[in-house]
Chains A and B, each alone.
Chain A
Amino acid sequence: MMATNAPPLLEVKNLRVEFPTRRGTLVAVDDVSFEIAPGEVLGVVGESGAGKSLTGNSIIGLLEPPGRIAGGEVRLEGRRIDNLPYEEMRKVRGARIGAIFQDPLTSLNPLYSVGRQLIETIQTHKQVSAAQAQARALALLKEVGIPGAEHRIDHYPHQFSGGMRQRVVIALALCADPRLIVADEPTTALDVSIQAQIIALLKRLCREHRTAVMLVTHDMGVIAETADRVAVMYAGRIAEIGPVRDVIKHAQHPYTKGLMGSIPHLGERGGRLTQIDGAMPRLTEIPRGCAFNPRCEFRGARCLVERPELMAAGASRAACWLHDAKGVGAPLSKDGAKELANV
């Protein structure tokens, strides 16, 4: 873990992302705030549509229109980057923030050899000669563990396997020694054995380069092995954020509890999995109060009307009235009176 009083590398404050549509404005990311310290790995986990990728894309300035940042701010090393003009942002992206996407085939240009793509990126961001750039490209390919790098540097993306391509993408992200890497589902398209290799690689490189990582994924297993802290997102908001051990072992938000219970574990076989009934609400019909309330077994009258902000809950912070002094309000059903086991 990092020093606790270091100034944050990345600060996201009250971020709000909207999509204007014919039937009104959809709020896809709503009032999301978090910080990432230098060298820290923050996992962002959630189900599809929770807004985790949009949060990542807002930070690297690659939000696809018509989506737009409607409120809040993003600061990198104290400097505001969410309102930079396109050309300015291009200099930040790549040089200060690297990006790794899910599908390594679409993030590489199929018409250029990987060496050329690496050299181009290095020369864009660093004042180096062609020979130096070439040497650095080769060194990077070796560092990410591509066998026969001297020979492979002239190969094209289609000549690499999925795992090897993702290694090239990681090398590309590291080209200009960024302080932060936003990795959006970096292992989802890969087989389990390759997934383990890529995670080990990402962990080692970030430790060596002291690069912070925002790891966006739906896979709790990947988070458990990689992240220092984790933010659980639900319907565009952070439901719970805290040290990874606490969130996984002592989840404070009913959604996190349900999510952890629904992952099949080795050890309990044949029994029913904990299931959260229903599905995440569509952006057009996010309920009033706490967005999770229709699926929550602990809900009270207050959850239907008042929206909880993040509040201290155990070692983490959770957006749930169960952790407020005034509680969830009058019980709604016989289940409503139940309390979270470890509260």
Chain B
Amino acid sequence: MSEFVQIDGLKRYFDVSAPWLVRQIEKRPRQIVQAVDGIDITIAKGETFSLVGESGCGKSTVARLVVGLYPPTAGKIEFDGHDMSQRRSGSETSTLRRRLQMIFQDPYASLNPRWRVFDIIAEPIRAFGLAKDKADLRQQVEDLLRQVRLTPADGAKFPHEFSGGQRQRISIARALASRPEFLVCDEPTSALDVSVQAQILNLMMDLQKRLQLTYLFISHNLAVVYHISTRVGVMYLGRLVEVAPTETLFQRPKHPYTRMLLDTIPDLEMTGRQRAPVGGEVPSPINPPTGCTFHPRCPFADERCKVERPKSLPIEGGEVACHGIEEGRIPIDERSYTKAS
């Protein structure tokens, strides 16, 4: 399996300090948010890799780093063998950029309200010079609209004439316009109602099959992630705590944080399983806890967890960053969060 996207030691820090003068007068130190603090991901061609985590864990920052909306503080992103951070000529950059696109969370904010849908979708085609002439452009836009189950007549309308789900279809059509191979989807269904969410998820799976797309899927909804992903990475405070194939992650979760997240999935089967509410909240990423950042909330934490940052170690086809798992202190039991098991 060739690695299509490879992310090595990716870091992104944000400086959120007060202005210099205020810092001098009030003797305050600089404040740095470690939004993404060294993560490694490899994504194979044609797979759906999902990142899950609570708000503030840095998953959206990863998405933005991957498409180049933020430059990384450190680390490397390789896309199909090309190092994305390297300086290169404009034409090379645009060839690379064409091949990866992004779908945003809020379909109300990500479409220009003053543009007609036709122009919104035609923009990437024009920008990358993918159409031979006007007729070809029109043909391409109409095909794209049909592909996302809208009609060519919808091209003449403005975004406000559409519902949330239809707008997300327009965003998908725009993302597909440059014929990308890799789509970064940042919570594409979080703003939608469940029945519309189902429509969009089905559409995304159909398109993936038809166009051999690779997805990096960002979500906080574990049930959605379970449904759509090949492999899943769980993030906590800017670090990956566990990466595993989907079935393994949901049947034999290892990291205590993963187990906690799985415990919080509402029980729709009404099996009477009690959600075990875990105490505590995500600490501030400005001063993250030392050692393993999860230790203040972890029932298995010991002295080592408080001082030493755990390394990701391979286990059962995945990777886990946890001292307890490494030492065998934490038993790995079948948790059967899935009906199948």
Which of B19-27, B92-100, B126-134, B222-230 binds A? Answer: B222-230
B6 CB to nearest A CB, Å: 25
A228 CB to nearest B CB, Å: 13
A89 at the binding interface (Cβ < 8 Å)? no
Chain B interfacial residues counted at CB < 8 A: 47
Chain A contacts of B339 at CB under 8 A?
Answer: 265-268
Taking A192-B220, A193-B260 as contacts, is the C-beta distance between A199 and B270 under 8 angstroms? no
Chain B contacts of A263 at CB under 8 A?
Answer: 194, 198, 223, 268
- Within the assembled complex, what's the spacing in Å between the Cα atoms of A219 and B221? 12
Q: Is the CB of A266 within 8 A of B223?
A: yes
B283 CB to nearest A CB, Å: 10
Chain B contacts of A277 at CB under 8 A?
Answer: 199
| The one of B55, B265, B340 that contacts A191, using a Cβ cutoff of 8 Å | B55
Q: Is the CB of A272 within 8 A of B194?
A: no
Q: Is the CB of A161 within 8 A of B281?
A: yes
Chain A contacts of B270 at CB under 8 A?
Answer: 224, 244-245, 248-249
Q: Is the CB of A47 within 8 A of B193?
A: yes
A280 CB to nearest B CB, Å: 8
Chain B contacts of A266 at CB under 8 A?
Answer: 222-223, 226, 250, 265, 337-339
A197 at the binding interface (Cβ < 8 Å)? yes
Which residues in chain B, 254-286, are within 8 Å of chain A measured between CB atoms? Answer: 260-261, 263-270, 275-279, 281-282
Chain A contacts of B164 at CB under 8 A?
Answer: 48
Q: Is the CB of A218 within 8 A of B226?
A: no
Chain A positions 184 through 204: 1 when the CB is less than 8 Å from some CB of chain B, otherwise 0 = 000000011111110110000
Chain A contacts of B85 at CB under 8 A?
Answer: none
B91 at the binding interface (Cβ < 8 Å)? no
Q: Is the CB of B196 within 8 A of A279?
A: yes
| Beta-carbon nearest neighbor of B56 in chain A | A191
- Within the assembled complex, what's the spacing in Å between the Cα atoms of A195 and B268? 15
- Within the assembled complex, what's the spacing in Å between the Cα atoms of A270 and B230? 9
* Additional 20 contacts, C-beta under 8 A, given A264-B198, A266-B265, A270-B205: A161-B281, A191-B220, A192-B222, A192-B264, A193-B277, A193-B278, A196-B264, A200-B275, A222-B266, A224-B270, A244-B270, A262-B197, A264-B201, A265-B223, A265-B227, A267-B338, A267-B340, A273-B201, A273-B227, A279-B166
A interface with B by C-beta (< 8 Å): 47-48, 161, 163-164, 191-197, 199-200, 218-222, 224-225, 244-245, 248-249, 258-270, 272-277, 279
